[in-house]
Structure 1
């Protein structure tokens, strides 16, 4: 049996009739009642263009695939392959695979078997999680599947600029493209830290842009977090949205180095 874990180009949010399904954590027992859902042909239609369901019973449950049989004349037909197989609690127990297709449109009337085989998914939790995490390309600024470089530069006037260098298919870095620039005297260079991660949970590090948050300390000692906006782009930090701010630090707090004396130059801090 084969299974493919695919990622939608965009999350399925706000679509009428679309809801998440919980994965079952145990194989269906022999004799258990299951429901198959699909968009395939029926007994009378080639392309029904709407979901339909069928009732099935578990005949046996092998290491990777339960065998099921349709109740009455219910069957899994062409076009239903890949559809979900649900238990009585509405949990996903399998993905429909092969079927005898008895009674389906276009199948000889002599074929009356409604048995089918599905792929178990109750024991694939670790594989699903591993595949999801492996599919995230770290520091991919433009969502092309290749890691890129983000750089920060402190100018002579103490303004701070963000730039990015994108990687091509040959693994070569392109020219640095200037992005967002923090006005002079706004942030303390010595207290900045660049932190990366998938903060909005879309598993697309390139489109949180840069999927990074800057923890910066202002001249008054207040700590701010700035998050790039979620719009596609090819330059780092365009623009930075203010996410969080702490209260200014008391004057008796630890001595702090003046931003004016902070070294000038490039640095890259991926955390």
Structure 2
């Protein structure tokens, strides 16, 4: 669902808290005083009904099944602190997400079934009992707010002249004092105020139409809010989210992979598709083609928890799409852009590459080859097998057991072929191939899982062929139960690479830091 940029002026107050003994203290709020939002704007904002009308707060959707809000919304006595127990909330909590006008239908309603609090600040993650698939979550801001920076707050709290507003409101605020866990905010207009009911409301920056979460509301003076007209102070204090974005990701990642039926994962391809790079922090993304023809992109995480290597799922194609005709898929780059794309061998014999892949799909398809010959390409993988530091090479295993490498490949097509092996019945037993960096050689290594469970690394493959082999799994090993594998940086953005496998029972795991000595432990992702 698209969102629209707000108008520059603000009309009503935002989040709510209560003033005790001259100090700001947290208490569940009702709505942001400011301008009523246009339909569909800031759809990631959620209204929380806690205890059947006993309390009201605001939250933000950060993943399809997770909200972030203020812990004080769930505390036994919010005026005395924000401590809240992990687990199911004590009071029934219903979240309404993406409904600008609460008197209308639309958006999604879900129950909050689990709370995961922070102990060092007024923040809690709230798990929903179902996924929200038609609303884009707010992006996590990774940079600290700067004094004087403009941010927006959207909330369902009490307004200037409404006790319980029916519409989402928003307002613009300026960043004041930035501390270790909090950030002070001041309204940019007289009617920009955080009111009761806005506790937990998201503060976010607008970066060219991309909204990045800065924090969630914790406390406010509520000056000018309905019922608090005599109070002149209008500042607010938010709990920072930028410095714990990794924690937010790691919590929301817990339900990410288990939601899918991984027995239906037909093709896996890894790469730096969504902005990660070899020199950055983010781990590799995973592109999945499912048996029904749908496709998903799992975005690599920025945090370092090895159990949760992905931070979000983006639906790329629905069931029955053209992806049902994909016969072999690999991640790699045949451009000099620095980011990876997806290369596909189709049932028709067409070989094509999508030079750009992001959360919205695959883009800029280039045909590399189109002939009956390419129907014989049983397995393909892209990797840096030659000295070309800007583009990958394509290695192909044909149906007769021969192998070829296409170097100097770009978006104009495959041209320079080097035959690495002749037809060989033994090589027809190769079940999967993938490219990676395991041995520290100047060129990429090839890993092959054979039908009998034997798994082999061929170090430093180049146009001259193969230069030795290392067995990392013996014949008749459990790896004979693997169905699909890919190589990538999943444990951390480092080398040597990891091998991720989807097993025949639908479980998924990866082996971190595979090298010439073999595998070193297993991280179970699903199952």
In the superposition, relative to structure 1, how do residues 79 and 204 fare at CA in structure 2: closer, same or farther (>3 Å)?
Answer: farther
In the superposition, relative to structure 1, how do residues 5 and 228 fare at CA in structure 2: closer, same or farther (>3 Å)?
Answer: farther
Q: Is the 8 A contact 2:141 2:245 kept in 1?
A: no
Deviations 1:216-266 (A, max 9, x none): xxxxxxxxx975899xxxxxxxxxxx886565743852286x9xxx9xxxx
**How far apart, CA to CA, are the structure 1 residues paired with 2:326 and 2:190?**
60
For residue 87 of structure 1, report the CA deviation from its aligned partner: 2.3
| Matching residue of 1:98 | 219
| Matching residue of 1:72 | 190
| Matching residue of 1:83 | 201
- Pick the structure with more strand per residue: 2
Say whether residues 1:24 and 2:145 are aligned partners: no
Say whether residues 1:5 and 2:57 are aligned partners: no
For residue 25 of structure 1, report the CA deviation from its aligned partner: 1.9
In the superposition, relative to structure 1, how do residues 60 and 244 fare at CA in structure 2: closer, same or farther (>3 Å)?
Answer: same
| Matching residue of 1:114 | 234
| Matching residue of 1:45 | 162
User: Is there any run of 5+ residues in structure 1 with no aligned partner, and where?
Assistant: 137-202, 216-224, 231-241
In the superposition, relative to structure 1, how do residues 204 and 7 fare at CA in structure 2: closer, same or farther (>3 Å)?
Answer: farther
**How far apart, CA to CA, are the structure 2 residues paired with 1:83 and 1:61?**
18
Is the radius of gyration larger for structure 1 or structure 2?
A: 1
For residue 64 of structure 1, report the CA deviation from its aligned partner: 0.7
**How far apart, CA to CA, are the structure 2 residues paired with 1:49 and 1:120?**
28
**How far apart, CA to CA, are the structure 2 residues paired with 1:117 and 1:214?**
46
In the superposition, relative to structure 1, how do residues 244 and 27 fare at CA in structure 2: closer, same or farther (>3 Å)?
Answer: same
Say whether residues 1:212 and 2:263 are aligned partners: yes
**Secondary structure, in 3 states, of the residue corresponding to 1:98?**
strand
**How far apart, CA to CA, are the structure 2 residues paired with 1:78 and 1:2?**
16
Deviations 1:11-57 (A, max 9, x none): 3333xxx4433222222222222221111110111222211112222
**How far apart, CA to CA, are the structure 2 residues paired with 1:229 and 1:68?**
48
**How far apart, CA to CA, are the structure 1 residues paired with 2:212 and 2:221?**
25
| Matching residue of 1:60 | 177
May I ask how many residue pairs the two structures share in their alignment? 174
Q: Is the 8 A contact 1:37 1:83 kept in 2?
A: yes
| Matching residue of 2:75 | none
In the superposition, relative to structure 1, how do residues 214 and 101 fare at CA in structure 2: closer, same or farther (>3 Å)?
Answer: closer
* Cα root mean square deviation, aligned: 3.7
Deviations 1:169-200 (A, max 9, x none): xxxxxxxxxxxxxxxxxxxxxxxxxxxxxxxx
For residue 127 of structure 1, report the CA deviation from its aligned partner: 1.0
Higher RCO (CA < 8 A, seq sep 6+): 1
**Secondary structure, in 3 states, of the residue corresponding to 1:68?**
strand
For residue 214 of structure 1, report the CA deviation from its aligned partner: 7.2
In the superposition, relative to structure 1, how do residues 48 and 212 fare at CA in structure 2: closer, same or farther (>3 Å)?
Answer: same
In the superposition, relative to structure 1, how do residues 28 and 227 fare at CA in structure 2: closer, same or farther (>3 Å)?
Answer: same
| Matching residue of 1:253 | 425
Q: Is the 8 A contact 1:64 1:119 kept in 2?
A: yes
**How far apart, CA to CA, are the structure 2 residues paired with 1:214 and 1:60?**
49
In the superposition, relative to structure 1, how do residues 34 and 226 fare at CA in structure 2: closer, same or farther (>3 Å)?
Answer: closer
Q: Is the 8 A contact 1:227 1:243 kept in 2?
A: no
- 1:151-230 correspondence runs (5 A): 203-205=256-258, 207-209=259-261, 211-213=262-264, 227=291
In the superposition, relative to structure 1, how do residues 99 and 212 fare at CA in structure 2: closer, same or farther (>3 Å)?
Answer: same
**How far apart, CA to CA, are the structure 1 residues paired with 2:194 and 2:149?**
17
**How far apart, CA to CA, are the structure 2 residues paired with 1:229 and 1:5?**
33
In the superposition, relative to structure 1, how do residues 204 and 47 fare at CA in structure 2: closer, same or farther (>3 Å)?
Answer: farther
1:35 alignment partner, one of 137, 152, 156: 152
**How far apart, CA to CA, are the structure 2 residues paired with 1:122 and 1:87?**
11
